[in-house]
Amino acid sequence: MSETQNDNKDVAVAADDTPTTSTPSQKTPAAKSKSGKAGAVATLALLVSLSALAGAAWLYYQLIYLNQQQSAQFLSDITAQVQGLDQRSQSSATALDRQRERLTELDSALDQQRAVVQRQIQQLSDKVQSVSSVDRNDWLLAEAEYLLRLANQRLQLSGDSRAAAQLLASADTILRELDDPALYPVREALAAELAALQGSSSFDLEGAYLQLQGLADAAESLAVYEAPSYQAEPQPARDASWQEGLKAGFERAWAKLRSYVRIRQHDEKFKAELAPEQATALRASLRMMLEQAQLALLAERPALYRRSLDKALAWLERYYPLNDGSQALAASLEELRAAEIRAERPDISASLRALKDYSKTRRWQREVGQ
């Protein structure tokens, strides 16, 4: 475009230098030709410029469009990541809340356990303090009270006054060792109870029970009456003489006649005869009677006790032959039958009550002194 302008300037200068021979509106053909070329060049340059501008505009549009797409995708990715982070943050917050609640529960449980342990420690401390304050006299008093309690139980349950008296004497020895004048009422009650036990009739219940057991075992070996067994009489040989046959027949007739008549002594009572297979049942019946007497002895039922022994004596007299074994068994049963199995039992609980009152007063005085 600059070259075209220079050419136009040269043409204009040349025209000015040329003498004006004609009118200004007239132009030469050469000038027209140069003017047309310059216009074409200018048009071409304009088109090229417009094309370049359009290309630049298109490139700029493409660049802007791509940047918008990338920005949108980037924003979408960022939004998705932010949402994911938000969800994870909410999950973490929920888990954190649960952990916080769990920690709160654990703290509460630990507080409760701590309170329980503290109470237990306090209780143990109190027990240790109470044990440390117990002296030798307290142990002796507890031992004496145990002996008195045991004596009452032995007398009431088994009626053993001898064992009860021994226990009372042991308790009195302990109280005498303490040498406390305040124990005088307890020892006075003990002396009265010992005198009552010595004056009461004593029955050895355990010994009587064991004696009945021994008699039941001994009865198993006693012989019983058994029915006589009959055997076939031997037949005389065929080759024997008629004298021997006559003699054998006479002996058989005499034996049969003797079997119809039995001669007994006047002091012997009639005994029933049993078959051999009945002996076991007879011995079992006698043992059952003696065991029934044992149960009546433990239950302190004198009527049933004597009735059981009476049945055993009658059974022994009826089915057992009179010999040393049966006579000894009957004598032992008669001795046991005559015993008083339920003797009068004195009351020995006064000393126990007095000792409890003394111990209670002693504890109260100690607490007041503290």
CA atoms within 13 A on the CB side of 202: 15
Amino acid 159: pLDDT: 72
The helix/strand/coil state of 340 is: coil
Spatial CB neighbours of 295, under 8 Å, sequence gap ≥ 6: none
- As separate numbers, helices (DSSP H) first and strands (DSSP E) second, the chain gives 11, 0
- Given pLDDT bands bounded at 50, 70 and 90, which one contains residue 161? confident
Q: Which two tokens stand for residue 274?
A: 């049993």
- Given pLDDT bands bounded at 50, 70 and 90, which one contains residue 370? low
Per-domain residue ranges of the chain: 56-133, 136-202+346-369, 203-225+272-342
Q: Which helix (H) or strand (E) holds 315?
A: helix 302-319
The helix/strand/coil state of 274 is: strand
More confidently predicted of 144 and 125:
144
pLDDT of 156 strictly over 60 = yes
- Domain 136-202+346-369 = CATH 1.20.120: yes
Over residues 129-140, the mean pLDDT reads 71
pLDDT of 134 strictly over 90 = no
pLDDT of 158 strictly over 50 = yes
The mean-pLDDT minimum among 139-143, 209-213, 262-266 falls in 262-266
User: Could you tell me what percent of the chain has a pLDDT over 70?
Assistant: 73
- From residue 285, give the alpha-carbon distance in Å to each of 65, 168, 258: 125, 43, 34
**Residue-wise burial string across 190-202, b where 16 or more C-beta atoms lie within 10 A, e elsewhere:** beebbebbeebeb
- Given pLDDT bands bounded at 50, 70 and 90, which one contains residue 5? very low
pLDDT of 219 strictly over 80 = yes
Over residues 78-94, the mean pLDDT reads 82
pLDDT in tens, 281-302: 888 888 999 999 989 888 778 8
More confidently predicted of 335 and 31:
335
Q: Which two tokens stand for residue 76?
A: 């979408």
User: What is the DSSP code string of 201-223?
Assistant: ----HHHHHHHHHHHHHHHTTS-
pTM surpassing 0.85? no
| Bridge partners for 274 per DSSP | 226
Q: Which two tokens stand for residue 261?
A: 């008549």
The mean-pLDDT minimum among 15-19, 88-92, 248-252, 286-290 falls in 15-19
Q: Judge whether 346 and 165 are in contact, CB under 8 Å.
A: no
Provide the CA 125 distance to its chain's centre, in angstroms: 29
Q: Which two tokens stand for residue 216?
A: 């039941």
Amino acid sitting at position 16: D
Amino acid 242: pLDDT: 62
Q: Judge whether 333 and 309 are in contact, CB under 8 Å.
A: yes
- Given pLDDT bands bounded at 50, 70 and 90, which one contains residue 28? low
Amino acid 245: pLDDT: 67
